[in-house]
């Protein structure tokens, strides 16, 4: 028998040994930090369902991004929440829209920070859906030009990466074509390629004020039971010009992350979504779990599953823990 010659515990005996042989490691540079930007001055409004996350006016957005960069986080993901919403989401692609202003402020103050913009209409429409409504349904093809316009105005403001999250068919091709036509050929597209219609998005909808006013998003986001469809969506987005692909959510879809990683040669991004974050926070606040250890364990699982980068609301605290 192998025992006692083989004793795997030998390499677990001390912290130094465990660190030396660790297969999967985390670093602040793995994280992308989401920020929710709102109009106004001196706004730092807590999100009730996401302890430690805030709606931020421009100056606080810059300050929060500065803290992230100081901890080694190299990228932020912006969501804009305008004061005015309408059926066409016009503030999404307005030159002076809140997210476009935030991009300019961030690139002026922190030129080395990577600024990624979430491109979708849900935060900007009065009905809360990700596209235009025609005859009571989200109209795929009519939405594409508006997403493309938003991508171009964000690139004009200085965005480093465009991240379409709407799940309209053909939106990567439409955005890539529009960026190229506007001479932003070097701006990458980080596509939410496999985005599931998930119960894990609940707290985000409070943060982004984007709850649908009727129906739900299962007509355009993916069914949680489907794997082959996720791989097809990834393939299609890469064919249309995506440079990076996102799997969202992450924790309940680690198998999808692994299969996507095994299939493609581009960077794979896991989105550690709002409820995944909030569940840890709620359990820790009740004293049921060690929140710090659980946070790092969950993020490690996403990296171990195959993600190269992780979008996470834990970015600041995880970076602090890693540096401790």
**CA atoms within 13 A of residue 97's CA, in its CB half-sphere:** 31
Check residue 95 and report its DSSP letter. T
H-type alpha helices, the chain: 15-21, 58-70, 98-109, 140-157, 171-181, 202-208, 228-240, 254-263, 274-285, 291-305, 315-323
> Is residue 71 within 8 Å of 320, Cβ to Cβ?
yes
Alpha carbon distance 42, 56 (integer Å): 8
> Is residue 244 within 8 Å of 288, Cβ to Cβ?
no
How far lies 260's CA from each of 91, 198, 234, 248, in Å? 34, 19, 8, 12
Alpha carbon distance 113, 115 (integer Å): 6
> Is residue 152 within 8 Å of 178, Cβ to Cβ?
yes
Residue 3, C-beta contacts closer than 8 angstroms, at least 6 positions apart: none
- Identify whether 107 is a catalytic site residue: no
Task: Please provide the size of the chain in residues.
Answer: 324
Alpha carbon distance 245, 237 (integer Å): 8
Q: Which of 85, 248, 281, 303 is catalytic?
A: 248
- Identify whether 232 is a catalytic site residue: no
Six-digit token string for 36: 């929710």
Q: Which of 195, 232, 281, 303 is catalytic?
A: 195
Annotated catalytic sites, by residue?
195, 248
């Amino acid at each position: 028998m192998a025992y006692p010659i083989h004793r795997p515990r030998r390499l677990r005996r001390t912290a130094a040994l465990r660190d030396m042989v660790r297969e999967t490691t985390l670093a602040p540079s793995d994280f992308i930090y989401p920020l929710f930007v709102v109009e106004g001055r001196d706004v730092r409004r807590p999100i009730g369902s996401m302890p430690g996350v805030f709606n931020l006016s421009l100056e606080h957005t810059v300050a929060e991004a500065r803290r992230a960069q100081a901890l080694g986080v190299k990228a932020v993901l912006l969501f804009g929440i305008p004061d005015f919403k309408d059926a066409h989401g016009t503030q999404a692609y307005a030159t002076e829209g809140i997210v476009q202003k935030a991009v300019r402020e961030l690139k002026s103050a922190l030129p080395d920070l990577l600024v990624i913009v979430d491109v979708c209409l849900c935060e900007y429409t009065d009905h809360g859906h990700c596209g235009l409504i025609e005859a009571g349904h989200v109209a795929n093809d009519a939405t594409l030009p508006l997403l493309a316009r938003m991508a171009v105005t964000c690139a004009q403001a200085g965005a480093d990466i465009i991240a379409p999250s709407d799940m309209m068919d053909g939106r990567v091709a439409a955005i890539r074509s529009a960026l190229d036509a506007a001479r932003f050929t070097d701006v990458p597209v980080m596509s939410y390629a496999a985005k599931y219609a998930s119960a894990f998005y609940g707290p985000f909808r409070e943060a982004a004020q984007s709850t649908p006013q009727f129906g739900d998003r299962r007509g355009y986001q993916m069914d949680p039971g489907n794997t082959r469809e996720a791989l097809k969506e990834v393939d299609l987005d890469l064919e249309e010009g995506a440079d990076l692909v996102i799997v969202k959510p992450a924790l309940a879809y680690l198998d999808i992350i692994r299969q996507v990683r095994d299939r493609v040669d581009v960077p794979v991004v896991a989105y550690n979504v709002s409820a995944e974050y909030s569940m840890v926070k709620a359990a820790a606040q009740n004293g049921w779990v060690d929140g710090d250890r659980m946070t790092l364990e969950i993020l490690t699982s996403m990296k171990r599953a195959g993600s190269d980068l992780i979008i996470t609301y834990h970015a600041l605290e995880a970076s602090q823990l890693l540096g401790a």
